[in-house]
Amino acid sequence: MATNFLDRSRSVAGPGFNRWLVPPAALCIHLCIGEVYAFSVFNKPLSQAIGITAPAPGDWSIPALGWIFSVAIAVLGISSAVWGRWMERVGPRMAMFWAAIAFAAGFFVSAIGVQVHQLWLVYLGYGVIGGWGLGIGYISPVSTLIKWFPDRPGLATGTAIMGFGGAALIASPLSVLLMKHFGGPTSVGVAPTFVVLGVLYLIWMMVGSQIVRVPPPGWRPAGWSPTDESGKMITTRQVVRAQALRTPQFYLLWLVLFFNVTAGIGVLGQASLMAQDVLGVTAAAAAGFVGLLSLFNMGGRIFWASMSDFIGRKGTYVIFFVVGAILYALTPTLGQTHAVVLFVLAYCIVLTFYGGGFATVPAYLRDLFGTVEVGAIHGVLLTAWSAAGVAGPVLINYIRQFELDHGVAKNDAYGVTMYVMAILLVLGLICNLLIRPVADRFYVPAGAAEAVA
Amino acid sequence: MNTNTPPSSSNAVALFLAWAFVGIPLLWGVVLTCINAAKLFQ
């Protein structure tokens, strides 16, 4: 069969394989699919695809274009939940291969949609087809890394998910350069930019799918042996997805991720506007603020996930929620006093918690449920991200508009929002503190564990 | 089972190339972002 070379059995690592080749394979995928965070760079050009220099009749509105990102994130959550078990069964190479095909195809279909000016084709291409690739591409390398790094799962997942946060740093300037190159008096250059990005991402992701390997059965790092640390909520036993979904721990963790992401995503979406309104800086300086937040979002992923290997997952989230709530509660005051450096610093730290939350959660799942179906369980948990992707921006936009409609000055319109975000983080803290080790009845019986694996 | 045998020189080259393949573009993005972020404090 033509796809034999993609089979799990063909990607089992041979003797002498260096496990440090797996993180770059994972980064090949995450540095591409994380482009979704930079998609807003196309909003303005797409909103004047007909008028070229300014929106003209028939041009797409910004709210209509905003749905492209929302659909992609929603499909990401759905596809990772639905296809998670398939991914575990067929292995990472097959999953990453199809993720590459889907993500690139999403760009190609969207390019046609832009060329013939049919927005539904862009929703279908980037949102649905590309979103499917996003979901599969997100979970497969993470699950593989957890199996390769049982001694440092936080570091491993942090490395991959750092790539997702860092992708926008590459995609944003690259997209601007390409649009500048292809654009002209008769075109904004988005369609050919999509084609070039699709080809580049296809190649990059295919390289990742070829590098990746799964460890042979029973493999473990030299000098490391698993220890059951139930007191620290680190199990050596296994819970399959169907059983995991019956545990209160799964739903508490879902809420933990939901509250953490809702608080962060709302700020990310409003960062440019907020910097201009509160600090009174120029649009260019506000773009610098957004870039800085992206850097800290990326850095927080590797830093906090690695730290969680030492201080525990629960302790790491306690830091996110306690310090995050304090910082959110302080930012309105910092903004009012125009303490620019402290204001920026507070948001940068908060964004490390946002990124760190994404990167630490797979290791948290592995601690609670074992490794055997961690990718499938992670896939379902990512629906919390989809829900937060809607709730965060809606919440922050609604509150800001409510404040403005009631006569609050622009630079003060974010105060209530930040207090609400602080409350969300306190709710997340409560959920995190309620997480206890999984009850015995949910684990795969000792004799059956190897068969399941 | 333990397959962590000492890496060969070809393994080391593969490792370097794989990390460079992802590291160089990421470094480019980080440098550009830092340059843009500097405008915030000017």
Instruction: Examine the domain organization and report whether A188 and A278 are in the same domain.
Output: no
Q: Sorting pLDDT into bands at 50, 70 and 90, what band is A242?
A: very high
CA distances A299 to A17, A254, A392, Å, are 28, 23, 22
> Looking at A226-235, A282-291, B19-28, which range is the least confident one?
A226-235
Query: What count of Cα atoms within 13 Å lies in the side-chain half-sphere of residue A44?
Result: 7
> Looking at A162-176, A384-398, A429-443, which range is the least confident one?
A384-398
Average of per-residue pLDDT across A311-320 = 95
Q: Is residue A7 part of a domain?
A: no
Instruction: Examine the domain organization and report whether A202 and A248 are in the same domain.
Output: no
- What is the C-alpha to C-alpha distance for residues A187 and A190, in angstroms, rounded to an integer? 8
pLDDT at site A450: 60
Q: Sorting pLDDT into bands at 50, 70 and 90, what band is A232?
A: low
Instruction: Examine the domain organization and report whether A267 and A158 are in the same domain.
Output: no
Average of per-residue pLDDT across A375-392 = 88
Is any Cβ of chain A less than 8 angstroms from the Cβ of B32?
Answer: yes
Is there a contact between A23 and B21 (Cβ–Cβ < 8 Å)? no
Q: Sorting pLDDT into bands at 50, 70 and 90, what band is A315?
A: very high
Judge if ipTM > 0.90. no
- Report CB contact under 8 Å: B40, A292: yes
How many structural domains compose chain A?
2
pLDDT tens column, A255-272: 999 999 999 887 777 777
pLDDT tens column, A111-150: 999 999 999 999 999 999 999 999 999 999 998 999 999 9
Instruction: Examine the domain organization and report whether A240 and A199 are in the same domain.
Output: no
Is there a contact between A41 and A175 (Cβ–Cβ < 8 Å)? yes
Instruction: Examine the domain organization and report whether A155 and A237 are in the same domain.
Output: no
Q: Is residue A13 part of a domain?
A: no
Instruction: Examine the domain organization and report whether A63 and A128 are in the same domain.
Output: yes
Q: Does the structure show a pLDDT above 60 at A230?
A: no
Q: Is residue A4 part of a domain?
A: no
Pick the more confident residue, B8 or B25.
B25
- Report CB contact under 8 Å: B22, A15: no
Instruction: Show which of A211, A245, A278 is a domain's final residue.
Output: A211
Q: Does the structure show a pLDDT above 80 at A87?
A: yes
Pick the more confident residue, A227 or A134.
A134
Chains A, B: CB contacts under 8 A, how many?
Answer: 101
Q: Is residue A2 part of a domain?
A: no
Is any Cβ of chain A less than 8 angstroms from the Cβ of B14?
Answer: yes
Pick the more confident residue, A78 or A270.
A78
Q: Sorting pLDDT into bands at 50, 70 and 90, what band is B1?
A: very low
Classify A187 as helix, strand or coil: strand
Residues in chain B: 42
Is there a contact between A205 and A96 (Cβ–Cβ < 8 Å)? yes
pLDDT at site A316: 96
Residue that has been written with the tokens 């070829």 in this structure = A210
Q: Is residue A224 part of a domain?
A: no
Q: Is residue A217 part of a domain?
A: no
Instruction: Examine the domain organization and report whether A371 and A406 are in the same domain.
Output: yes
Is any Cβ of chain A less than 8 angstroms from the Cβ of B13?
Answer: no
CB burial class (10 A; 0-12, 13-18, 19+) of residue A369? Answer: buried
Instruction: Show which of A182, A211, A240 is a domain's final residue.
Output: A211
Which of A97, A91, A84, A98 lies closest to A210, judged by CA?
A97
Written as six digits, the tokens of A191 are 């369609």
Q: Does the structure show a pLDDT above 70 at B6?
A: no
Buried b / exposed e along A132-160 (16+ C-beta atoms within 10 A): bbbbbbbbbbbbbbbbbbbebbbbbbbbb
Q: Does the structure show a pLDDT above 90 at B18?
A: yes
Nearest-CA distance from B10 to chain A in Å? 11
- Report CB contact under 8 Å: B36, A287: yes
Beta-carbon contacts of A317 under 8 Å, excluding residues fewer than 6 positions away, are: A256, A260, A357, A360, A364, A428, A429, A432
Which of A336, A217, A321, A189 lies closest to A277, judged by CA?
A336
Instruction: Examine the domain organization and report whether A246 and A361 are in the same domain.
Output: yes
Taking contacts as CB-CB distances below 8 angstroms, the residues of chain B near A175 are none
| Closest residue on chain B to A286 (Cα) | B40
Residue that has been written with the tokens 């909003």 in this structure = A43
Phi-psi region of B6 (alpha: psi -120 to 50; beta: other; left: phi over 0): beta
Instruction: Examine the domain organization and report whether A161 and A43 are in the same domain.
Output: yes
Q: Does the structure show a pLDDT above 90 at B16?
A: yes
Instruction: Show which of A179, A211, A243 is a domain's final residue.
Output: A211
Instruction: Examine the domain organization and report whether A270 and A410 are in the same domain.
Output: yes
Instruction: Examine the domain organization and report whether A248 and A107 are in the same domain.
Output: no
| Closest residue on chain A to B5 (Cα) | A16
Q: Sorting pLDDT into bands at 50, 70 and 90, what band is A386?
A: confident
Q: Is residue A9 part of a domain?
A: no
Q: What is the mean pLDDT of chain A?
A: 90
Q: Sorting pLDDT into bands at 50, 70 and 90, what band is B3?
A: very low
- Report CB contact under 8 Å: A219, B8: no
DSSP state of A188: -
User: Nearest by CB to B7, which of A18, A340, A341?
Assistant: A18
Is there a contact between A138 and A30 (Cβ–Cβ < 8 Å)? yes
pTM over 0.90: no
Which residue range forms the structural domain that includes residue A300? 230-452
pLDDT at site A340: 84
User: Nearest by CB to A16, which of B8, B39, B42?
Assistant: B8
Nearest-CA distance from A110 to chain B in Å? 24
| Best residue in A12, A19, A21 for a mutation probing chain B (most B CBs within 10 Å) | A21
Is there a contact between A369 and A379 (Cβ–Cβ < 8 Å)? no
Instruction: Examine the domain organization and report whether A321 and A442 are in the same domain.
Output: yes
Nearest-CA distance from B25 to chain A in Å? 7
DSSP state of A126: I
pLDDT at site A39: 87
- What is the C-alpha to C-alpha distance for residues A413 and A277, in angstroms, rounded to an integer? 9
Nearest-CA distance from A285 to chain B in Å? 4
Q: Write the CATH number for A49.
A: 1.20.1250.20
User: Nearest by CB to B11, which of A18, A286, A344?
Assistant: A18
Is there a contact between A228 and A236 (Cβ–Cβ < 8 Å)? yes
| Closest residue on chain A to B24 (Cα) | A170
pLDDT at site A2: 52
Q: Is residue A8 part of a domain?
A: no
Q: Does the structure show a pLDDT above 70 at A103?
A: yes
Based on DSSP, count helices (H) and strands (E) in chain B, helices before strands.
1, 0
| Best residue in A12, A18, A22 for a mutation probing chain B (most B CBs within 10 Å) | A18
Whole-angstrom distance between the N-terminal and C-terminal Cα of chain B?
57
pLDDT tens column, A350-367: 999 999 999 999 999 999
